[in-house]
């Protein structure tokens, strides 16, 4: 090969290498641009999901509004409150430094029988059975505008539509309670109520009592009706005729619970050591019942403990029947109910004594649940993301 030919070949190789390098640089720039835009979309999607999660949790909590206990629930009003709260929380969690708006159609309020079943649709038929809120946040052409991309416009695509959905549920179907190192104590009071008396209360069977008001803002109780019915829990478990020597107090734990044990449970809740008597959890059996030993009464010394929790949500056992006198009585518990104490008087004549309660929503970390509504009323696990 001549020197001229060799030089020509060398130049051709240099030219080919330069061309390859130009193409490679273009490809690398394209991949870099793609990586940047994918990163932008990933970050925006994560922010959108975080905002949707917060909106769903807030909306589900606001659905636990006890105004629903005052009359027949209005589904439109409940949905409007959920939408408003979802919007407030979404605005506090911006996406790409912009507060996302929430479309009314993207907030769904309803009921899930089994939140772990991802195929189950949210039921929208019963405003009395609400336990779930689903929120979808969008960045698209219909609301909030799509995400702006930096380099994809080179390829004819300058934006991307994104969405994120979160579902929050306060699970019902409570069948019992289990205290662990992470749950805190159980808010179960050692006072049983006849299930028929409870049903008469929530169904407003005459005569209806409404003498006290609970203010959800100040968390205080005052005289005057608030539209939520009440009954006198003591003496007699809601007017029920009980065996001699018993007034509806039950032992949650050993059958020889002292007055100090009961006062502690009133003030601070039922502990793991209390439930150890039942094998670690107080739970309805396969037949839907559990037996609790009766106690001889409610001491006037409990007044201060009951006053200390007045207005706070608590749970009481519901029983279907009771047998045996005094400390030998056995209550057949068939469910649990959420209540709050409104008034306490444990001195004077028996006819003047009273522990007035009204229905209330209770969220308890110790609650054990099953699918479906179960045998309990107004008692739930705390609001959690379920989907």
The domain segmentation of the chain, as residue ranges, is 3-169, 174-385
Contact 330, 294 (CB under 8 A): yes
The per-residue pLDDT for 169 is 96
Strand ranges in 258-353 using DSSP code E only, listed in sequence order: 281-283, 290-293, 313-323, 330-345
Contact 124, 110 (CB under 8 A): yes
The per-residue pLDDT for 284 is 96
Contact 375, 175 (CB under 8 A): yes
Among residues 333, 189, 343, 326, the alpha carbon closest in space to that of 263 is found at 189
The per-residue pLDDT for 31 is 53
Contact 213, 201 (CB under 8 A): no
The per-residue pLDDT for 186 is 97
Burial class (CB in 10 A: 0-12, 13-18, 19+), 213: middle
Three-class DSSP category at 291:
strand
Bridge partners, residue 344, by sequence: 355
Q: How far apart are CA 271 and CA 264, in angstroms?
A: 10
Which tens digit of pLDDT belongs to each residue from 181-191? 999 999 999 99
Among residues 75, 79, 41, the alpha carbon closest in space to that of 60 is found at 79
Which tens digit of pLDDT belongs to each residue from 74-96? 888 899 999 999 999 999 999 99
Q: How far apart are CA 268 and CA 272, in angstroms?
A: 12
Q: pLDDT digit of tens for each residue in the chain (387 aa)? A: 555 555 555 555 555 555 545 545 555 555 555 666 677 888 999 999 999 999 999 999 999 888 888 877 788 889 999 999 999 999 999 999 999 999 999 999 999 998 889 899 999 877 778 999 999 999 999 999 998 887 666 666 778 899 999 999 999 999 999 999 999 999 999 999 999 999 999 999 988 899 999 998 899 999 999 999 999 987 655 556 666 556 678 899 877 778 889 999 999 999 999 999 999 999 999 999 999 988 766 677 788 999 999 999 999 999 999 888 767 788 999 999 999 999 999 888 777 888 999 999 999 999 999 988 889 999 999 999 998
The per-residue pLDDT for 249 is 84
The per-residue pLDDT for 92 is 96
Q: How far, in Å, are 46, 141, 146, 147 from residue 151 at the CA level?
A: 20, 20, 15, 13
């Amino acid at each position: 090969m001549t020197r001229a030919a060799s030089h020509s070949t060398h130049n051709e190789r240099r030219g080919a290498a330069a061309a390859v390098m130009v193409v490679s640089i273009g490809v690398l720039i394209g991949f870099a641009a793609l990586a940047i835009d994918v990163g932008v979309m990933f970050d925006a999607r994560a922010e959108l999901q975080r905002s949707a999660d917060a909106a769903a949790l807030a909306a589900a909590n606001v659905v636990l509004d006890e105004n629903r206990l005052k009359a027949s629930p209005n589904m439109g009003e409940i949905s409007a409150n959920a939408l408003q709260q979802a919007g407030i929380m979404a605005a506090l969690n911006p996406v790409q430094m912009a507060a996302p708006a929430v479309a009314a159609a993207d907030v769904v309020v309803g009921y899930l029988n089994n939140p772990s079943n991802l195929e189950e649709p949210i039921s929208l038929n019963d405003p009395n059975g609400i336990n779930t809120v689903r929120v979808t946040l969008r960045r698209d052409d219909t609301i909030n505008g799509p995400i702006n991309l930096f380099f994809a416009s080179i390829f004819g695509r300058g934006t991307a539509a994104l969405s994120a959905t979160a579902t929050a549920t306060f699970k019902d179907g409570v069948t019992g309670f289990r205290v662990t190192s992470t749950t805190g104590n159980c808010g179960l009071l050692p006072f049983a109520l006849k299930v028929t008396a409870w049903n008469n209360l929530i169904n407003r069977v005459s005569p209806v009592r409404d003498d006290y008001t609970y203010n959800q803002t100040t968390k205080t109780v005052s005289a005057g009706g608030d539209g939520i019915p009440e009954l006198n829990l003591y003496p007699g478990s809601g007017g029920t005729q009980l065996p001699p020597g018993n007034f509806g107090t039950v032992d949650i734990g050993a059958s020889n619970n002292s007055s100090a044990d009961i006062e502690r449970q009133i003030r601070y809740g039922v502990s793991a050591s209390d439930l150890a008597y039942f094998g670690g959890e107080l739970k309805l059996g396969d037949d839907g019942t559990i037996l609790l030993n009766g106690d001889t009464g409610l001491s006037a010394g409990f007044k201060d403990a009951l006053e200390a929790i007045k207005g706070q949500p608590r749970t009481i056992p519901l029983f279907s029947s009771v047998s045996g006198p005094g400390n030998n009585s056995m209550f057949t518990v068939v469910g649990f109910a959420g209540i709050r104490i409104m008034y306490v008087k444990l001195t004077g004549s028996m006819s003047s004594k009273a522990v007035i309660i009204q229905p209330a929503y209770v969220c308890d970390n110790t609650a054990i649940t099953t699918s479906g509504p179960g045998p309990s009323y107004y008692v739930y696990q705390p609001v959690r993301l379920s989907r």
